[in-house]
Structure 1
């Protein structure tokens, strides 16, 4: 007879508790947001425009891509369509969190969904495990995370030409490092075998499609296939 699986207790349903849960995200966002601010400033954005982009768009990878395409002189429709493809994964992230948000009013969920990123999804998913929780905790997590992203990106823009060499500072690897830090804890513990296989499948597909020149679609395809494989072998 197998031992019952014990889930960690739910965090307090308060805004401060959500803010505390955001600390690992904040620590990751500071160097990445700073790197984006430097890149955007170099691409010709003002400090105010960098802040508005982090407030209204709030999608790290899409912001990097958008700034780089803007600097390269890409047409506006091309920038919009590319960032749209990159952000399609948010449909999957939102769907996965729905069981925890289902008891909230639609208007509340619409506001909470604005703060869903890869990082806030990872924290929500690991703590909630599909169990319902009040909106205050999620709001604390999301607001604190985005505030740190806005502050870091504006700080990078203010630094301007002082820190133009991102590779020398290791800022170009900050985003990858944070994703690795979020992934590794999920590859340990009970039932980790299926998660490890899913992660491996996602990595192989993403790398393969990147080599084929389809990195945007690679994220989406890798997510769908890896999630399907994980469910099948779980």
Structure 2
């Protein structure tokens, strides 16, 4: 990763990240196929919903016969963390148009958000729409393609977990966290480790009382507050 913020640089920077999309997208497509969803339904879900964890939940709720209102509410709660991420990224695009910001926020994901935070460490805390558009669009198209291929392969693979595809996104986030820690020179390594450990402990206890995505949102907010307290002035 270099300091360039061109469209081409965005394509190059996002390529290692999309391998995680391929693994999880294939798994999602396979699960959708075994749940009797058509290829068209999977494609439309990936293009419109575009949220891995939410799409798994939607499939399970459809099979259970849940009402549409419950599915919509669950999807909103699962993806509510994106409000925080979009607000964080938006401050780097204050000089850009509202339309540009809407486009960037619409396709922003956990992975492209983390990629953006890593990019800031080598660009003197600057981002450009062309760079993020490239990363977002590639991730978007790869995800849609992977879910469709997974759906087509669904008849051949009965159990996607046997290939470890469900761990792909976890491994990807571990890699992104590592890159963030080793490239961010603005904060001491010990401080970053303290924040990571604090969030992990919060998640451990919160998972006992809240659903996973709600626990993640609360742990994120607590981690932000803890980071502000322990960061050097």
Q: Which runs of 5+ in 2 are unaligned?
A: none
**Corresponding residue for 2:146?**
152
What is the deviation of 1:213? 4.5
Distance across 1 between alignment mates of 2:72 and 2:204: 24
What does the per-residue CA deviation read over 1:159-191, in whole Å, with 9 as the maximum and x for residues that have no partner?
122112122111122222222222122234642
- Are residues 1:50 and 2:47 paired? no
Q: Which runs of 5+ in 1 are unaligned?
A: 1-7
**Is the CA contact 1:15–1:140 (under 8 Å) kept in the aligned structure 2?**
yes
The number of residue pairs the alignment matches comes to 226
Alignment map for 1:121-200 (pairs within 5 Å): 121-129=113-121, 131-188=125-182, 190=185, 191-200=188-197
**Is the CA contact 1:100–1:132 (under 8 Å) kept in the aligned structure 2?**
yes
What does the per-residue CA deviation read over 1:46-83, in whole Å, with 9 as the maximum and x for residues that have no partner?
11111111111111111122112222322222211111
Distance across 1 between alignment mates of 2:66 and 2:203: 24
Distance across 2 between alignment mates of 1:86 and 1:153: 19
Tell me the TM-score normalized by structure 1: 0.90
**Is the CA contact 1:19–1:141 (under 8 Å) kept in the aligned structure 2?**
yes
* 4+ runs deviating over 4 angstroms: none
Distance across 2 between alignment mates of 1:171 and 1:58: 18
**1:182–1:133 CA distance, 2 compared to 1 (3 A):** closer
Alignment RMSD: 1.8
